[in-house]
Amino acid sequence: MEQDPVVKPKTRIAKGFQDDWQSSTGVYINFDCIEKIGEGSYAQVFKAKRKLTQKYHAIKIVRCRILSNLDHHNILRFFTCWLEDSGYSPDESGSSTQYSINPPIRYDYLYIQTELCVYTLRVWINRNNEKKSLLDPKRRKEALTKFRQTVRGVEYIHSKMLIHRDLKPENIMIGQDGKVKIVDFGMVTRDNDPENLRERSMYKGTRSYMAPEQIRQKTYDRKVDIFPLGLIYFELLWKMTTYCERAKVLTDLRELTFPKEFQHNFHQEYLKIKPMLYEKPEQRPEASQIHADLKNISDSLRKIKTRRRSIHMTKTLLHSSVPINPVQHNMGSNIQQTFALSAESKQV
């Protein structure tokens, strides 16, 4: 039986997708009238007519190769993906079963293998709100640790000339090692690509975490990832108990309106978060600069911890049953007064 001639696409296939398309022999054999109708950084969509039914379909080619090359301990590790004609589902006994829909059609299921994560940062925030008060020193330290890891991941993404475009607590996972893992690269695009200006002006992402230029659909760059980082750091520190409260506070933050108690209790963090939320992207810091600034906060928290420990030790000595001479007593009083004055001054 004579085979139908191979029909080449009517429009040029972007560089990098050529091999993917040419290797898709099933597309050439089963479809004709192939025409490109859409394109992103890591996917192309084609309109094609299935020979058997003479009906038009959309065919999407997704490139996983570039994303699989992202190798960083704060990025979800992608291992491989494959297509199969059957699905997988555990039965009631807990054992696995396979099921198939429309058996004559091959490759109905896409399997993606990644490293295993435990829960999202949203879950971590909610649990932290239940367990710790705003003034709990551990809250501040743990929030800084999680945020530093997130920033390292974003810094790595930007170093690869990529923009995530959908950073939010739900797209940040906690791995089995307890470290932050940035996930969901479905909206990732290239940064500073002159041939990709239209893609970098699209309304993509989650509105409550979008940068202003994303919402207005202006041409943007990697700084759209900095804006949600400011919101995420705030959420790690501040307790919001209801959805309505969170929606109102996040809206206020877009106008640089912070809760007064936040400025007082987390003054140094406030000074770092505020620039991330500037309306003009060129005024926002780079991820690398944020990473450097967070080290200063870490050093300050370490000093505060040391100071509190010293005050505690001094009080313990003063109230101990062990007799002390007047010189030691005066020395202890002077130390206590010194730390008291320091504690009353502006928060470090």
Q: Is 166 one of the catalytic residues?
A: yes
Residue 97 DSSP code: E
Cα(21)–Cα(57) distance, integer angstroms: 16
Cα(249)–Cα(289) distance, integer angstroms: 26
Residue 174: left (phi > 0), alpha (psi -120 to 50), or beta? beta
Strand partners, 47: 35, 58
* Contact status, residue 188 vs residue 41, Cβ threshold 8 Å: yes
Alpha helix (H) ranges present in 31-185?
65-68, 121-131, 137-159
Instruction: Residue count of the chain, please give it.
Output: 348
Per-state percent for the chain, helix, strand, coil, to nearest 5:
45, 20, 35
**Of 279, 284, 184, 274, residue with least CA distance to 234:** 274
* Contact status, residue 214 vs residue 168, Cβ threshold 8 Å: no
**Catalytic position from the list 85, 166, 193, 299:** 166
* Contact status, residue 314 vs residue 335, Cβ threshold 8 Å: yes
Strand segments (E) across the chain: 31-39, 43-50, 56-62, 78-84, 87-90, 96-99, 109-114, 117-120, 162-163, 172-175, 180-182, 189-190
Active-site residue numbers? 166
